[in-house]
Amino acid sequence: MRIGRLPVDARSPQRARRVFATLPARYDLIGSVLSFGQDPRWRRTMVRMALQDEPAVVADIATGTAAVAIELASRGEVRVIGLDQSPAMLAVGRRRVQASGHADDIRLLLGQAERLPFADASVDALTFTYLLRYVDDPAATLRELARVVRPGGRIASLEFHVPPRLGWRLAWRVYTRVGLPVIGGLLGGAGWWRVGAFLGPNIEDHYARHPLAQQLEAWRAAGIEDLEVRVMSLGGGVVIGGRRRG
């Protein structure tokens, strides 16, 4: 499927929010299956980047069902503030936090990444996962994320990626256009079939409009330096980390 033929709503943040709104109950399990089990490994890599300087307070933006927040809390003496715009995701996240034994370490809030309810330089580190494809202005969102991190604090992210090598990219395209909808539908019903059909075109369109090199320039323009980029799993995922300038 050519990028030029993508339906308009595949590029829409509002469309993405609707697609994911009904999926919290099995979000992490099916997400891991659809990524061939790589998603948890990518998350652990991001968490290690964020915790390198042993921060006391970490904000986890687009926390969803709190998988990253729990991973952060389990790896050190850290207080985590998770934020997501989905009440349904946060409801599942709160149950998972209670079950994890980290209820005293994690606080979950309803809010939007584009307008964080935090003061300037109020957290020591920040993570965000699968976020920038779902905002209207990724560069402005990066500036808002950097605003709340203290100077010298670490920022780390995880996102899907398009494999750069032609052979793997063609296989990725077949899998995302055919395999994802079918597997998602078999495991999770109509809602996950829609997610499977949505993800491939959405990811590819994001990188067509915002190539990785351009995204890294947006990180630097937001005041984030010393960037480390890890393209993982034959190019299917990318973890980015850096420090808030200052």
Tens-binned pLDDT, residue by residue, of the chain (246 aa):
333 333 334 445 555 555 555 565 566 666 676 677 788 899 999 999 999 999 999 999 999 999 999 999 999 889 999 999 989 889 999 999 999 999 999 999 999 999 999 999 999 999 999 999 999 999 999 999 999 999 999 999 999 999 999 999 999 999 889 988 888 788 778 877 887 788 889 899 999 999 999 999 999 999 999 999 999 999 899 999 999 998
The verdict on pTM exceeding 0.85 is: yes
Interior/surface letters 104-121, b for 16+ CB within 10 angstroms, e for the rest: ebbebeebebeebebeeb
CA distance 24 to 7: 25
| Three-class secondary structure assignment of 41-52 | HHHHHHHHHHCC
| Closest alpha carbon to 212 in 114, 138, 127, 129 | 138
| Three-class secondary structure assignment of 85-143 | CCHHHHHHHHHHHHHHCCCCCEEEEECECCECCCCCCCEEEEEEECCHHHCCCHHHHHH
Residue 124's CATH number: 3.40.50.150
Phi first, then psi: give them for residue 16, nearest 5 degrees: -60, -45
Total of domains in the chain: 1
Give the tokens for residue 140.
């402005």
CA distance 84 to 82: 7
CA distance 119 to 176: 39
Structural domain including 150 reads 3-244
